[in-house]
Structure 1
């Protein structure tokens, strides 16, 4: 999966199309990412009491994962781009590269 935690992404399809956000968590086995402020859902939780007697529960708004095909990584210029790889000559490691401008991500 070419999208990693900490990347800034642009949502390109779905109800939140056009929204930008930071990837909070990536789920490579499910091909999904959790994006800050995108795909917000309301989760109903049962009321329960903790040790101190305070009750917690009710309706909680939180982000839900979105499929990785619905987002594009935003490069250093602020434009959405596809991701490629190149091998770094010094270290021999794979480096992610923007297909739009050729710069490292």
Structure 2
């Protein structure tokens, strides 16, 4: 399996789907399904039964997963593709638009 180009905490821009153009922070990455959950993007409504955490139940809005191919990493306010290179003996991500090392 190849390494994920998007990580939790990254800022991404949605490039396809109903929320195209929106930016947000990655809250979760699912490597198995190749999906990401982005803050305030792809909001869906769920009907929740009353529980200990939610006393009243009712209709709750939450973020749903997006396929990772529908988001692009934002570096310095610009959406860019991501590549990998070796920095000494460590593999690091870099922005293809600027060549800048990300982490």
TM-score, with normalisation over the residues of structure 2? 0.90
Tell me the C-alpha RMSD between the 2 structures. 1.2
Q: 1:64-79 counterparts in 2 under 5 A? A: 64-75=64-75, 77-79=76-78
- 2:35 counterpart residue number: 32
User: Which of these two proteins has the greater Rg computed from alpha carbons?
Assistant: 1
Shift of 1:97: 0.3
Shift of 1:9: 0.2
Shift of 1:10: 0.2
Q: 2:50 aligns with which of 47, 52, 71?
A: 47
Shift of 1:46: 1.4
CA distance in 2, matches of 1:55, 1:88: 51
Shift of 1:55: 2.7
**Which runs of 5 or more structure 2 residues have no equivalent in the other structure?**
none
SS at match of 1:69: helix
SS at match of 1:56: coil
